[in-house]
Structure 1
């Protein structure tokens, strides 16, 4: 790891008199798998939404590799390499697993009616490239056996893996994962965790993960950032955070971690 992938400075988001995020500041190191945890209502999802361009901050700044991206829309951030997944997968239910991956690939000239007429060779060449990349992604994720099955018929864990596959079809640099373990059986959760590690190690993806499963966070993430009441409470290794009295009080309700 070297440098900072994402820098959040004094970020706030107000809804009338409610301050969902209230001056949060933190950094996501380049090449890291960073965890973002906190009790319900801590501001985690709102923070993700602002980083991903789905919501505009009331104040504060967000920088990606030194570039100010505050308030930029999702489609612009996508082309910078910032990709976000959701707690409930957002697949195209009627398309097959393969078609879902192919649809995620950027820069497809076949989307232009004019280019289909004027440059059919270029369209076919790009389609072949996208198909090959989609097949490779399915194989990487261990999903080749569901290649031609509609995504809506897949299990929850397979759909989470498919979402990771869609990030692989892009030029992802920073991947924001919203509860990858939610609703997933333990066997598939191990596979998802392994895929995250491999994408980090082999493809250089930087991850930021919201997750309520503390064992998963401990196994995957370093550093871990704790939000409480819209602010950063602490940051560090999970082993230290589990013993922090402030975290025990705010996140674990005064009980053992």
Structure 2
């Protein structure tokens, strides 16, 4: 993905307001703050930088409050939570503004994810970008509780971080599209606002997703997802402001990112 492959938004102005380089560009964003609490995400077209509203469906995914937060990461109110497990699964797609996956380009994707407390850990939950799944894989992949990368189906590359009900995780994917197999690196709970970590928590080198034009919320129930960002750099998806939301309303701004240390 080259910088000209997507429409630029007014985010560049917002970045300069808070003193961050405009090169830290968020290309697509949805924090589920533009929707009525309790409504289904189906047909909703909030956020910025997308080619279409949320479509498809299955198990209902509703807008919930107050939304997920993660220390140091700018966030907005609202999140998307799937109903308890049933005979169907949640599969909600959203088209990108333009296809991604062109060889010799790089894409970053980040989001917050939480299995809901008070329930057994659901089969699987995460986000697809094309044929690559990012999150906790399901029973066909051996019931591995760890977050990781999956693709093709049942072929997973796990991290060392296990999913736990009620605990929010911050996932950042670096997708380096290459001739032949692509290179995917997953960073689990990186520190927002700091440089890209030198070592990923999970890697995948056995999948070529080709060009793709969509992401998909993909889970079996009782998962909350929030703060979906697609950008052209690690900084863009791990510390840049939320498009269209005043800085004073954001969670985790200011010097929190600089002060936060890994326990």
Q: TM-score, normalised by structure 1?
A: 0.31
Greater fraction of residues in helix = 1
Greater fraction of residues in strand = 2
Q: TM-score, normalised by structure 2?
A: 0.30
Structure (1 or 2) with the larger CA radius of gyration = 1
